[in-house]
A and B are shown apart, each in its own frame.
Chain A
């Protein structure tokens, strides 16, 4: 016997959570794209998407956010803080790859400095993930050591019922358990079977790839130039990546009054590493693509013992010239043989 949440009860759940002062967010298709947005009613959710175009990270790490303001007057200097103060939220219907991405970035944002902007939002949110029944041509979580029903990063895992009427509910963390309390009356005991999880074939040998990447001999390999020849240097893959977390600090205003903001930045851009002198240590696009791959599968794992890729496949799915992590790792896998 296990707890079951029926789809018909979802809107009632949302009301109960709202009564507790929690906002409810989930995958929505709006204005020709999809991402996570606040909803009132279950019908607003688009739970049939394999994956939203935009990732979960935007909820914790917005593309632009004010950090503080300053104004310098003749008499006094004033500063203002903008620490996140949104109400706690339930994120209903995240995908396992996105949820895993948040757990990976937790380590980064709590490494040499605890990023209050990230953690204030993380601490006040509960991620309820729905295991995938379907994958598409770009999914590759299995190849990254995860799975269409990975629990990593989630507080509650929901397994879709074979009947399509609801989900089997698995509580994963105390935070998840607490979020289920207000809706306890709507969780029914049952033994209905779950639908089979998606098939996500193994596309490359990750260990072989990381071994190749770790060999300093390969850093200057011609491979990097060939694999990234068509890269146009836009930031799509990084901005739509659940784990890419680089940002830039910008002061908007003037000497006397302004706001300091934290904006997304991307290693794909020429400007990212441009020195004040005009020298650029990553002068070519192939060096930038190499950096992206090395960061995910070598530098990050050196520091945090985990790769910073969850196999969501968005980099390939959304790339204007059909590149992505998948092609690169598949190619490296072949080099090994």
Chain B
């Protein structure tokens, strides 16, 4: 039985026995190469689920849809290990209760989707610990290395150029499972703290606010870069932040649901290199 078939029967079973009220997964898209998020509530519809290497969107953010988890019922969701980390962070930030989440875990290896054992987020702690180790050893992105070697003036010019394409559609915000604020700081308009204009200053303000707010929270799922209609390499900023907290605090976001947010917790041995 293919992995897709296995997950279809698992989804059917979960819905039929009433363990979950909904399965959030992937379905066929407009073209053969596209997948789209789908929401299955009836066992008969489970055959619409698709699982293959084209299923790349992190679906975790849909769990925060207003009212979805309010009735204490459970929802099953297709998640990669980074998706599971997302759930852990959202739980640590009091946005959901992991008891209400059934994980349909999978991983993309090249051209294939591989099944991952486990049902609850805690079942994936081994895989996540393994990923942390790998992340530490992972060399910096090629462009990131070039950026590191630039002078601050050159680096500023690089980002000014990249951000100049920004049209402020906020697709990066909308696609990010970590952007769960009911009202984003840039939408606070009494007074308007952050410029809404997509001129140089406005674009820098937005993109830097976004990057800072994700420091120690981003799981590098890639939703933002994928969503950006003008292809700004947002992942470079996120990766830089990830590497920063990993090096300075040995912190890998989403390790488990009890992990304290790195920028909201204190340890006596925290490095204080910023204090001159």
Residues of A within 8 A of B (CB): 31-33, 53-54, 63-64, 137-138, 229-230, 232-236, 238-240, 248, 250, 252, 261, 263-264, 266, 269-271, 316, 318, 320-324, 326-327
Contact = CB atoms under 8 A, between A and B. Distances in A.
Nearest to B166: A63
Interface size class of B (residues with CB under 8 A): 35 or more
The interface centre, meaning the residue of B31, B183, B229 with most chain A CB atoms within 10 A of its CB, is B229
B129 interface: no
B168 A63 contact: yes
The interface centre, meaning the residue of B161, B168, B192, B195 with most chain A CB atoms within 10 A of its CB, is B168
A321 B57 contact: yes
Contacts of B202: 64
Interface in B167-192: 167-171, 173-175, 183, 187, 189, 192
Interface of B: 29-31, 34-39, 57, 61-62, 161-162, 165, 167-171, 173-175, 183, 187, 189, 192, 195-199, 202, 223, 226-227, 229-231
Given A321-B37, A327-B30, A236 B227 contact: yes
A240 B167 CA distance: 9
A262 B219 CA distance: 36
Contact of A236 (B30, B35, B229, B231): B229
A138 B30 CA distance: 8
Nearest to A322: B36
A325 to B, nearest CB: 11
Main secondary structure, interface of A, reads loop
Contacts of B39: 229-230
A263 B198 contact: yes
A320 B171 contact: yes
Contacts of A318: 229
The interface centre, meaning the residue of B38, B165, B197 with most chain A CB atoms within 10 A of its CB, is B197
Contacts of B231: 31-33
Top-6 shortest CB links A-B: A234-B174, A234-B171, A320-B227, A322-B36, A235-B169, A32-B231
Contacts of A323: 36
B171 A54 contact: no
A248 B171 contact: no
A322 B168 contact: no
The interface centre, meaning the residue of B168, B173, B174, B175 with most chain A CB atoms within 10 A of its CB, is B174
B170 A271 contact: no
Contacts of B167: 54, 63, 235, 239, 264
Contacts of B35: 322
Contacts of B227: 232, 234, 236, 320
18 contacts: A32-B230, A33-B165, A53-B229, A54-B230, A137-B31, A230-B36, A230-B37, A230-B39, A232-B175, A234-B170, A234-B173, A234-B175, A236-B227, A252-B195, A322-B34, A322-B35, A322-B36, A326-B30
Nearest to A324: B30
B158 to A, nearest CB: 11
A271 B189 contact: yes
A63 B29 CA distance: 30
A234 B231 CA distance: 15
Nearest to B161: A31
Nearest to A313: B30
A250 B30 contact: no
Contacts of B175: 232, 234, 320
Contact of A250 (B38, B170, B187, B192): B192
B187 A270 contact: yes
Contact of A264 (B36, B168, B195, B230): B168
Given A230-B39, A233-B174, A271-B189, A320 B198 contact: no
A233 B61 CA distance: 12
Given A236-B169, A263-B197, A269-B170, 6 more contacts: A137-B30, A229-B39, A232-B171, A239-B167, A320-B227, A321-B57
Contact of B230 (A53, A252, A263, A326): A53
B170 A33 contact: no
A82 to B, nearest CB: 13
